[in-house]
Amino acid sequence: GKNMIVYNEKQKYFNLSNKYISYIMNIMDNGQIGHLYYGNKISENISVSHMFRQRGCILAPCTYRNNLDFSLELMRQEYPAYGTGDYREPAYQLRMKDGSRITNFIYKTHKIYSGKKKLEGLPATFGDEKDVTTLDIILEDSLINCQVILSYSIFEDLPVIVRSANFINMGDNDLYLERALSMSIDFFDSEYDMVQLDGAWSRERHVHIRKLEKGKQSISSSRGASSASHNPFFALKRKNTTETTGEIYGFTLIYSGNFIAQSEVDDYDVTRAMIGINPFEFEWKLKKNESFQTPEAVIVYSNSGMNGMSQTFHSLFKNHLIRSKWANKVRPILINNWEATYFDFTEESILKIAEKAKSLGIELFVLDDGWFGERNNDSTSLGDWDVNYKKLPNGIDGLATKINDLDMMFGLWFEPEMVNEISSLYEKHPEWAVSVPNRNMTYGRNQFVLDFSNDEVVEYIYNKMADILNCGKISYIKWDMNRNITEAYSKILPNNRQKEFFHRYILGVYKLYEKLTTAFPDILFESCASGGGRFDAGMLYYAPQAWTSDDTDAVERLKIQYGTSMLYPISSMGSHVSAVPNHQVSRETSLKMRGDVAYFGTFGYELDVTKMSDEEISEVKKQIEYFKNYREVIQLGDFYRLQNGENGRFAWMCISKDKSTAVVAFYKVLAQPNPSLKKICLEGLIPYGEYYCEETKETYFGDELMNFGLICETEFTGLIQEDSYKGVYHSGTDKGDFTSFVYTFKLK
């Protein structure tokens, strides 16, 4: 894999390339690193001198007295600083002992090697010697005796570059890092639209697209979590880029805390794209010989539209980020008791639900909130991870055994990062709750956040959880996190290091995940933050799936799952069929539609199966049987978005890697009067292959389905009067609001 990265000694440039992409940067005249090109693959041994060309400007501040052509204001750079002529936002900033913040990090040396190193304390992509090559560029500021190592890795089989930076203080004086982003790239022009995923609780990751304008466009979080407001992702796409054609660059951060993602268009239409830890409320003290590692940024290039970008992210995450042994395995169909019972259950009522679920074909029973301490409502007992024997006289152990005896797996809910005021933990350790001494503590969901920047707290929670998990009968954990941080302050940090709190907090969360996943490698972890409040690549490293949203309404889920699929694989999206009227929006949708939407994820149920009618029971059995037959295609195949909800119609599909089986779904939100005929063009089929559709009982050629398309069900067009007394329905298989159809195609 070594030949994926070459250094041209004569022209002083680095070329990272594989069969899809080239990423080219150079050592500029001042010793700093310039950015020349990132995009479609170009020849490895080109003369890139013409790419160095710059424009002068009479007013630009110049690095060299007699060279008007070399001004950092006009240069495209790779990891820019502020203060020596470049007035755009910098990638990093350091404060020195004398209060100055001017630095000069210049090229010292570089290393190219196969494979890639782990990032200490942080989630990151991985790969072995065969499929990934890494370049470390070592830059040094000799005045302050500090180094920054810029690391770049390229994967052999994906159009992806991953990047991070590591600051090392080798001098005698303390340094303060005030800003340390993970990546910055200066693109040649600004003819892009910015794609982002925004929302709020129960309407996470809706797609928003806006044109790049002069100045800055950014999304960020300062909640202590990546947040439901903005996902730590953005993309820059050409105006004419669609789902299947055109250029797009996608960026994400493998991090679960405060972030910023920004595009800045300067006076000369250069676009600076950057992503990293949010500099707001951040600072890091570096003593002699200490280093600071930024999280890893992922940069994807696609010239086959947004689907191309998404499939690259999906593939990277499944094969090079998710460490769990569940990464490329189909997931068990689960039932969660939460919407069936809330806090009000006994061992007996739980077993009734489990027995019924087993008879339907469900494989995993998950016991949600309410099994510990005195937890009969949400005002008490968080932090007291001891089983409530009043509800469960035989303990978790006993209940798990009974569920295992039904030949079902057993799973359990935790909220490890939180504590209630009414709890024995808070009585013993009030100082473990995040708060500022003598100030009001803001309430959120009747709970406080534990100080995970304190190792003692992490260790305590680990031991409590391990005690329960050591019974060996637990196959799955739902790790919830239901409130964001307020009054950010740690009792264990000195007063001049309080701005380290947010990053140290998330490192503590990672530390607990690391300890648990190492000690219990067979457990399937699902992360959750009131649904999708911390659905990010950092979490995926430890937990291969996340609860996509607390909103389980089939209609709302279309937008949520559509947006989430921009970068997260289908197998990472927790998706359940829940009761109607829906508990979040009070809408009624058919059991069929709820199932058809939930198929495209991990799939499971969150309702009281003991209260279902015979008709519902037989439908659920059919759903489960269908899903078991096709979950490999859905969870491990390639995913394509086909229709994005304009006119209230969504469509998407999954196709097996060998293209022999495809599952296609079409959803209509609201009925229209006297509608036109609709069709969907499929993607990814073998053009000359003959595909039999089980639902239409017809055979089609792949190219026919991709180019002409599949004509959708005939919609209802109103009553046709036969005589004045009795109306006759016009035939139409697609009647009313909230309808869905799933088609299964098999290569003959």
Q: Catalytic positions, please?
A: 480, 550
Q: Contact, 476 vs 524, CB < 8 A?
A: yes
* DSSP assignment of 700-722: EEHHHHHHT-EEPPPBP--EEES
For 413, list phi and psi in degrees, rounded to 5: -95, 140
The residue type of 654 is C
- Round the CA-based radius of gyration of the chain to a whole number and report it: 27
The secondary element (H helix, E strand) that includes residue 132 is strand 132-141
**How would you classify the pairing of strands 447-449 and 476-479?**
unpaired
For 408, list phi and psi in degrees, rounded to 5: -125, 150
Q: At what angle do helices 347-360 and 614-636 cross, to 10 degrees?
A: 70
Token reading at 76: 């495209």
| Strands of 450-512, DSSP E | 476-479
Residues 6+ apart with CB under 8 A from 253: 182, 232, 233, 259, 261, 275, 276, 295, 296, 297, 298, 536, 537, 538
Q: Contact, 318 vs 327, CB < 8 A?
A: yes
CA 697 to each of CA 469, 676, 691: distance values in angstroms, whole numbers, following the listed order: 49, 24, 10
The Cα angle at residue 696 between residues 691 and 702, in degrees rounded to 5: 25
Q: Which residues pair with 107 in a beta bridge?
A: 139
Q: Is 410 helix (H, G, I), strand (E, B) or coil?
A: strand
Token reading at 301: 């290039």
Q: List the one residue out of 438, 512, 445 whose CA is nearest residue 479.
A: 512
* Dist CA 367 CA 346 (whole Å): 11
* Dist CA 603 CA 596 (whole Å): 10
The residue type of 682 is L
Q: Contact, 592 vs 740, CB < 8 A?
A: yes
For 414, list phi and psi in degrees, rounded to 5: -135, 155
Q: Is 107 helix (H, G, I), strand (E, B) or coil?
A: strand
**How would you classify the pairing of strands 284-286 and 215-220?**
unpaired
Q: Contact, 206 vs 197, CB < 8 A?
A: yes
Q: What is the DSSP letter of 260?
A: E
Residue 542 burial class via C-beta count within 10 angstroms: exposed 0-12, middle 13-18, buried 19 and up: buried
For 447, list phi and psi in degrees, rounded to 5: -140, 160
Terminal-residue alpha carbon distance, the chain: 39
* Dist CA 214 CA 198 (whole Å): 22
Token reading at 454: 């304190």
